[in-house]
Amino acid sequence: MQQIFLFLYRLRALLLFLALELLAVGIIFTHNSPQGAVFFNSSNKLVGNLLSVKNNFVSYFSLYTANQALAEKNAELLNKLDRVSPVLDSANLSIDSVLAKNFEFWSARVINNSIHLNQNYITLNKGTKDGIEEGMGVFNELGVVGRVKGTSNNFSSVISLLNTNLLISSKIKETEVFGSIKWDGLKSNEAKLLYVPRHVQIEPGQEIVTSGYNAVFPEGIMIGKVKSVNPGSETNYLDISVSLSVDFSKLNFIYLVKNDSREELDSLGIEMETAGP
Amino acid sequence: MTTGKIVKYSLSFILYFLIQVFILKDLVLFGYAFCFLYVFFLLSLPHELPTIPLMLIGFFMGLFIDLFYDSLGMHTASAVLLGFLRNPWIQVNTPTGGYDDNVPPTLLNMGMGWFVFYSIPLILIHHLLFFYIDILGTDLYLPLVIRVSASMAFTFVLGIIVQAVFYKKERVL
């Protein structure tokens, strides 16, 4: 018995090494699961506050561009409002206007962002206290940014579109062809449109928007433009490169969207799956 | 290990950590070259420090940095590996006449030739593990090679400058 203890004692550094590495690998896997506890990342209180303080200093440098972008978004919204508002004749009102309000919107500020790794995350300065929930869509005036992965009281952590684990249901605006946007980990301004069959005609320059099928984003939020189309190497799908409309290196203010009927849609999906053929 | 030294190394731990997460995190050259200056903190700890505390220091340094990088576990795993391999590697590199006590393995104390031979392989292993974990599940091996080599160059150059400017020679001649 004593021999065994002596033996283990001699190996103590190796054993501790293995234990610490196992611990590290454990947290890597729990962190990178698409949904999971986030108490131990940049959305925790202390880290979030520190990042927030830093961002208060740094954000002054990008105030001009941020203001410009906000002004442009305002102008766009005013245009839309102008088109929507003149419904004076009640005959033009849709009957189920109560049910039509499916989406709620919030705004928040980016306090931490990375674009150079393969699993990039963004931290926002709002959390459960402000009504932010897991699974909300995140976008800015240029297009889709990501999806909320987890929240703490005051901060939330977002899986960036620049994360090889995130798929976003999307379609080509003109032709209504569906596919999934996924980042390939190479350039911060390019992604791939997956699962588009070979027979589909696609031209470079066509716009890609969210499809509204996955119930995270409303339909029609900009994602990017088709950059090049090639026949896929071995699959039945086309290899489509998309230039993203969002400049991820200059994220500042973003919007969050919550689909109020998401639970309903999700549970319907689960029912369909469990019912099976 | 005197109290003064413990204070000195604790302050330097905090300083390396703050510089890493608040300045160097946003400084990625050409989208490929990262600077993980904090490895130089682990490299320049006294050579008398046993492997176990070294790994624990690496573990916490890595963990704290991971919190800010949102790369949970990646810096931790790499820094622990670095801590585990450092002392054996120092043993391998023992200069003729052995090491002097109270002389930490820094650039000015040990000389450029020794320091390059000591630091480059350890930095390589650290960066390789970090970026390998990052690409797990994909097949982006070419970007991996570019990232590792570019980051090694950036980390090493900045590390050497820091060593030359802020560390002083402690070797008694």
Mean pLDDT by runs of 10 across the 173 residues of chain B is: 83 91 84 88 87 90 86 88 89 79 80 87 92 81 89 91 82 55
The rounded distance, in Å, linking the Cα atoms of A178 and A175 is: 9
pLDDT at B106: 82
Report the pLDDT value the prediction gives residue A87, as an integer from 0 to 100: 55
A28 vs B contacts (CB less than 8 Å): 72-74, 77, 133
* A145 pLDDT higher than 70: yes
Mean pLDDT over A8-27 rounds to 84
Q: Domain of B110?
A: 3-166
CB contact under 8 A, A51 and B28: no
B25 interfaces chain A, CB cutoff of 8 Å: yes
Q: Which of A116, A186, A249 to mutate to test the interface with B (most CBs of B within 10 A)?
A: A116
The answer to whether residue A190 scores a pLDDT higher than 70 is yes
Residue B173 within a domain: no
- Evaluate whether residue B78 is within a structural domain: yes
Residue of A15, A21, A159 to mutate, testing the B interface (most B Cβ within 10 Å of its Cβ): A21
> Residue A28: which of B28, B52, B73 has the nearest Cβ?
B73
Does B111 contact A at CB distance below 8 Å? no
pLDDT of residue A41: 61
Chain B, residues 132-171, CB within 8 A of chain A, namely: 133-135, 137-138, 140, 143
The answer to whether position B171 is within a domain reads: no
SS3 label, residue A97: helix
Residue A188 to residue B31, Cβ atoms within 8 A: yes
pLDDT at A154: 84
Question: What confidence category does residue A16 fall into, taking pLDDT thresholds of 50, 70 and 90?
Answer: confident
Contact with chain A for residue B80, Cβ under 8 A: yes
Q: Token pair for residue A226?
A: 């088709």
B172 located within any domain:
no
Q: Does residue B90 lie in a domain region? A: yes
Round to the nearest angstrom and report the end-to-end CA distance of chain A: 60
Q: Is the separation of the CB atoms in B138 and B163 below 8 Å?
A: no
Give the residue, A7 or A36, on which the prediction is more confident. Answer: A7
Compare all CA atoms of chain B with the CA of A13 and give the residue at the minimum distance: B52
Query: Does residue B34 sit at the A interface (CB-CB below 8 Å)?
Result: yes
B8 occurs within a structural domain:
yes
| Residue A96 scores a pLDDT above 60 | no
Cβ contact (<8 Å) for A13 and B51? yes
Residue B4 to residue B44: CA distance in whole angstroms: 16
Residues A180/A168, Cβ–Cβ less than 8 Å: yes
B147: phi > 0 → left, psi -120 to 50 → alpha, else beta; which? alpha
pLDDT of residue B81: 92
The shortest CB-CB distance from A21 to any of B28, B67, B80 is to B80
Chain A contact present for B67, CB below 8 A: yes
Which secondary structure element, helix H or strand E, spans residue A256, and what is its range? Answer: strand A253-259
Residues of B in contact with A112 (CB under 8 A): 68, 70
pTM for this structure? Answer: 0.80
Mean pLDDT over A204-221 rounds to 83
Assess whether pLDDT exceeds 80 at residue A222: yes
Contacts with A187 (C-beta within 8 Å, 6 or more apart), sequence order = B31
% of chain A exceeding 90 in pLDDT: 1
Alpha-carbon distance of B60 to B43, in angstroms, equals 15
What value does the mean pLDDT of chain A take?
Answer: 79
Closest CA to B73 of A96, A6, A40, A221: A40
Of A42-46, A74-78, A147-151, A268-272, the range with the lowest mean pLDDT is: A268-272
pLDDT at B122: 92
Please report the number of interchain residue pairs, chain A to chain B, with beta-carbon separation below 8 angstroms: 95
Mean pLDDT of A128-155: 86
**A27/B84 Cβ within 8 A:** no
Q: Does B31 fall in a domain?
A: yes
The tally of domains found in chain B comes to 1
Question: Per-residue confidence at A270, pLDDT binned at 50, 70, 90?
Answer: low
Widest CA span in chain B: 53
- A214 with A100: CB under 8 angstroms? no
Is B50 close to A157, i.e. CB distance below 8 A?
Answer: no
Mutate to test the interface with A, among B72, B76, B90, B129 (most CBs of A within 10 A): B72
